[in-house]
Amino acid sequence: MIEVVDTVTLTLDGRQITVEKGKTVLQAALEHGVSLPYYCYHPGIGIDGSCRVCIVKIEKMPKLQTSCSTVCTDGMVVDTQSPDVHAARAGVFEFLLINHPLDCPVCDKGGECPLQDFSYTFGPDNSRMEFPRRVFDGEGVKADVDFGPTLMLNRNRCIMCTRCVRFMGLVDGDAQIGVINRGNGSEIGTFNDEGVHSLMSGNLVDVCPVGAITTRDYRFKSRPWDNPSVTDTICTQCSKGCNTTAWLKAKPEWAKGSSLIRFTPRFNADVNQYWMCDIGRFNYRWVEGDDRLRAPLVRDAQGTQQRASWADLMPKLRDRLAQAGQSSPDGVKFLVSAHASNEELFLFRRLTEELLGPSGPSTITVSWRVTPKQQPPRTTFKVPAVDAPNVNGARAFGLVTGAVGDPQGPSNVGALQAAVAAGSVTALFVFDPGPDGTLGDSQWLLDARAAGQLPLLIVQGVLMTSLAKAADFVLPGASFVEKDASYTNDQGWLQATSRALATPGDAREDWQILVDLASGLGVQLGYTSAATVRGDIAARMGGAVGLVGIEGLAFASTMSARTWLQASNPSERWKWDFMYQDLPPVKGAVEPSSLPPPPGLIPLKEVK
């Protein structure tokens, strides 16, 4: 069926353009590559008409009009470049800066700041302000005050666009931020100065067009030109699967510290709009943290875990597993976290089928943690309770009951628990590639192990969890930012994470570990890459709901931030064309020309 879209045709800077009915002049201009500044407007939180920088000339209207609040009509003639528009716009920019501290060198937003960018492009080249600037909480960085557990606020930098206020009211659903006082003394604040307490707080930093709101996490940690590499990926910390971008700091070989320095949300109309929650945004340090598994471990005769090479570990593991299998053919069980990707779930299925026949997959139990999130009832962004990305994938593979897209409740590990308690489990293979605890309750396993009910415990995962500490074999795998893998979110969308980092130390990608393990057990699965695994999924069950199109999934490669911004946000494109040209090269930065053109990974939507 062809969808008939009502359109209107107007003239924009002398060009005839046709846009969907209902679009504003600002939207039309941005879609057609005309740069217009805007602050109070944000596609996710609507029109305010207060900042006044988006003014344009519209024929037959007596005054200049704000393009953000003017809907396109047929035959409208819009001019964004006339001398009076230039002058008026520059006037508003002069006003925006007369009280702005201009402390860009110490401001986190510096380098990616719409106030800087638009002022350079549209503002006057000097200011006529001769009076002391407005100061709220102190001069310089002393003006930074607490703004809740995740944020800092610098009121001097604020331009009163009220995006933060409207975000809290419209998206978060709890209008914690308000404007205090009036006129020139207006300031952003929270009741009793309590700050923002919200699962969505990090988005305030994205919506704030200046450095007034900053995250404690990213504060003073890097500068935009020091983190020139980005990878488009998705978040796997819950069943929603927000589309995100992983930002990497470029650093010389010898430098310590992590290279993953922040996550930002990426627009996806169907999944997360413009937002992501604080769990996904801030909980990433474990990826490069001290608890990360970097080498295989084997428990020796004295009972201590010793580092081993994969070549040492595999035969020992094979022998112990074979032994356990022989003593009790269905005594070998698998406990797989719903953090397992579709590829990994499929491999577990294949492995058990090959070893035990068609009933093999019944030895697999999929487990996940459920944490109800405290959110305002009116929120438009619900963070699901399931702390794992792929319950629906497990359903698609028949490992969890229910259909893809059904509501998701707690996992059911009762049968496995009973078998362990009955002492009938001779070996348990745990796969736990998510952050600590997301496998769900594991205390019962530790207790069983201590009670001698679990003779053999194997853990494949990413962190030195208490379960890994108790294991006989520890197999270091890859976290979600270290592999190209696919997941089926709670709505049934098939989405992909992309490799932004290499696996640390001797850790390997999990498909590789499982294929090697199978081979050790005498099963030749024949896969040579994760892509061949996906090809086989498509061949065997390509039509399954939640897995359609898996063979054709494209993955993002790490690319320069410049390329990323060009691909993802056309309205920012000019920034990279006109600015940053004269910045000194950063050591370790990815040279844009060395990169392939941006892949069309998860299709990027037009700027709204």
Q: Which residues lie near ligand SF4 (CB under 6 A)?
A: 158-164, 188, 207-210, 212-213
Min dist. Cβ of residue 156 to ligand SF4 (A): 10
∠ Cα 518 524 525 (to 5°): 80
Question: 210 touches which of ligand FES, ligand SF4, another protein, none (CB within 5 to 8 A by kind)?
Answer: ligand SF4
Site string for another protein, 23-62 (x = CB under 8 A): ------------------------xxxxxxx-x-------
| Pairing of β 15-20 and β 364-367 | unpaired
Query: Can you state the angle between helices 510-520 and 342-356, rounded to 10 degrees?
Result: 10
Strand 7-12, strand 473-476: pairing: unpaired
Closer residue to another protein (CB): 65 or 529: 65
Q: Does 129 bind another protein (CB under 8 A)?
A: yes
Those residues with Cβ within 8 angstroms of residue 364's Cβ, 6 or more apart along the chain or in another chain: 333, 334, 336, 348, 349, 352, 399
Give the full edge-to-edge strand order of the sheet including 243-248: 260-265, 243-248, 229-234, 559-560
Which span sits near another protein by CB under 8 A: 154-162, 243-251, 288-296, 356-364?
154-162
Restricted to residues 33-62, the positions that interact with ligand FES (CB under 6 A) are 38-41, 49-54
Interacting partner of 92 out of ligand SF4, ligand FES, another protein, none (Cβ under 5 to 8 A depending on kind): another protein
CA distances from 26 to 30, 53, 147, 207 (A): 6, 11, 32, 18
Nearer to ligand FES, 94 or 506 (CB): 94
Q: Which is nearer to another protein, 184 or 581 (CB)?
A: 184
Q: Segment 9-38, which members bind ligand FES (CB under 6 A)?
A: 38
Provide, rounded to whole angstroms, the least separation between the CB of residue 24 and ligand FES. Answer: 9
Binding mask of the shown chain, residues 311 to 340, with x at each position contacting ligand FES by CB under 6 A: ------------------------------
Taking the complex as a whole, the smallest distance from the CB of residue 576 to ligand FES amounts, in Å, to 22
Residue 164 interacting entry, from ligand SF4, ligand FES, another protein, none, C-beta within 5 to 8 Å by type: ligand SF4
Binder to another protein among 1, 4, 16, 128 (CB under 8 A)? Answer: 128
- Which positions from 88 through 107 interact with ligand FES, judged by CB under 6 A? none
The answer to whether the beta carbons of residues 206 and 263 sit under 8 Å apart is no
On whether the CB atoms of residues 598 and 266 are closer than 8 A, the answer is: no
Q: In whole angstroms, how close is the CB of 78 to another protein at the nearest point?
A: 17
Query: Nearest approach, Cβ of 30 to another protein (angstroms)?
Result: 19
Euclidean distance between CA atoms 415 and 336, whole angstroms:
14
Token pair of 588 as six digits:
């370790």
Helix (H) or strand (E) holding 566: helix 561-568
Report whether 555 contacts 499 (CB < 8 A).
yes
Q: Look at residue 473 and give its three-state secondary structure.
A: strand
What contacts 203, CB < 8 A, 6 or more positions away? Answer: 167, 171, 265, 274, 275, 276
Distances in whole angstroms, Cα of residue 482 to Cα of each of 310, 433, 459, 502, 507: 19, 11, 19, 6, 10
220: left (phi over 0), alpha (psi -120 to 50) or beta: left
Residue 97 to residue 90: CA distance in whole angstroms: 11
Handedness of CA 446, 452, 453, 457 (dihedral sign): positive
39 or 480: whose CB is closer to ligand SF4? 39
Which residue has the closest beta carbon to ligand FES? 68
CB closer to ligand FES, 56 vs 556: 56
252 binds another protein (CB under 8 A): no
* 54 binds, options ligand FES, ligand SF4, another protein, none, Cβ within 5 to 8 A by partner type: ligand FES
**Least Å from the CB of residue 201 to ligand SF4:** 12
Phi, psi at residue 226, to the nearest 5°? Answer: -95, -10
Shortest distance in whole angstroms from residue 42 CB to ligand FES: 9
Least distance in Å: CB of 188 to ligand SF4?
A: 5
Q: Which partner in ligand SF4, ligand FES, another protein, none is near 99 (CB below 5 to 8 A by kind)?
A: another protein
Closest distance to ligand SF4 from the beta carbon of 140 (Å): 17
User: Shortest distance, CB of residue 65 to another protein, whole angstroms?
Assistant: 10
What end-to-end distance do the CA atoms of the chain give, in Å? 24
- Is residue 210 within 8 Å of 114, Cβ to Cβ? yes
- For residues 66 to 95, the per-residue mask of contacts with another protein, x marking binding by CB under 8 A and - elsewhere, is x--x------------------x--xx-xx
CB of 164 to ligand FES, least distance (A): 14
Q: How far is the CB of 92 from another protein (least distance, A)?
A: 5
What sign for the dihedral angle of Cα 333, 338, 344, 347?
positive
Q: How far apart are CA 608 and CA 13, in angstroms?
A: 20
Contact 35, 54 (CB under 8 A): no
206 or 343, CB closer to ligand FES? 206
From the list ligand FES, ligand SF4, another protein, none, which binds 63 (C-beta under 5 to 8 Å, kind-based)? another protein
Tell me how far CA of residue 136 lies from CA of 100, 128, 140, 184, 315, in angstroms.
11, 22, 11, 11, 67
Positions touching ligand FES (CB under 6 A) are 38-41, 49-54, 66, 68
Query: What are the residues binding another protein (CB under 8 A)?
Result: 47-53, 55, 63-64, 66, 69, 88, 91-92, 94-96, 98-99, 128-129, 131, 159-160, 162, 179, 181-186
